């Protein structure tokens, strides 16, 4: 079971619903400390139980641990391999890449040139350990993302930096892809 811990400062706000607080399906455990200078009960929406504990203990800071049944924090990609993404996982991985360059291979299962360049694309993922390599099957399920990214032909390679598309290579042009990746990497 994953555990997330957060601390509320005097300028934070809490929004809670009656079904959330104290529910066995959503266990929340709280600890209270006395470290800051302003009483949270005056600036945050707290339950009456939390206000009473704060008043009773003289606490100034509320630290809560929220337990979740999620095993992972979200989709991830690994260095040295090509990660398959979907419309649901693509942006999460791009955003988690941080300063790294992201290369997306947009392909279809029936595309001959896509199949020919796939092994070379995988070799690139093993060569550049500072680049995140992704692939997206532009099937019916992922059509909304493919449309959002402006796909016209397959294969298309989109190179992103800081969540924005900075280069595009259309067709199975391996040398052009390498030049584009090198250009984006060196611009950083």
Is 138 an active-site residue? no
> What is the four-CA torsion angle of 41, 44, 46, 52, rounded to 10 degrees?
-10
Is 114 an active-site residue? yes
Q: Which of the following is catalytic: 43, 44, 111, 138?
A: 111
Q: Which of the following is catalytic: 43, 44, 114, 138?
A: 114
CA distance 118 to 172: 9
Burial, 29: exposed, middle or buried (Cβ in 10 Å; 0-12, 13-18, 19+)? exposed
CA distance 169 to 17: 49
Q: Which residues are catalytic?
A: 111, 114
């Amino acid at each position: 079971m994953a555990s997330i811990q957060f601390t509320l400062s005097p300028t934070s706000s809490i929004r809670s619903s009656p079904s959330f607080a104290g529910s066995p399906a959503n266990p929340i455990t709280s600890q209270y400390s006395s470290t800051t200078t302003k009483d949270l009960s005056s600036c945050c929406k707290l339950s009456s139980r939390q206000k009473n504990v704060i008043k009773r203990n003289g606490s100034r800071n509320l630290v809560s641990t929220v337990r979740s049944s999620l095993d992972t924090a979200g989709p991830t990609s690994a260095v040295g391999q090509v990660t398959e993404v979907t419309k649901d996982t693509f942006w999460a991985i791009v955003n988690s890449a941080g300063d790294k360059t992201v290369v997306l291979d947009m392909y279809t299962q029936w595309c001959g040139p896509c199949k020919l360049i796939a092994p070379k694309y995988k070799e690139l993922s093993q060569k550049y350990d500072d680049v995140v390599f992704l692939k997206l099957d532009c099937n019916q399920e992922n059509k909304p993302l493919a449309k959002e990214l402006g796909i016209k032909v397959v294969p298309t390679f989109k190179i992103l930096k800081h969540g924005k598309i900075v280069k595009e290579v259309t067709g199975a042009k391996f040398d052009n892809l390498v030049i584009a990746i090198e250009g984006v990497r060196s611009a950083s």
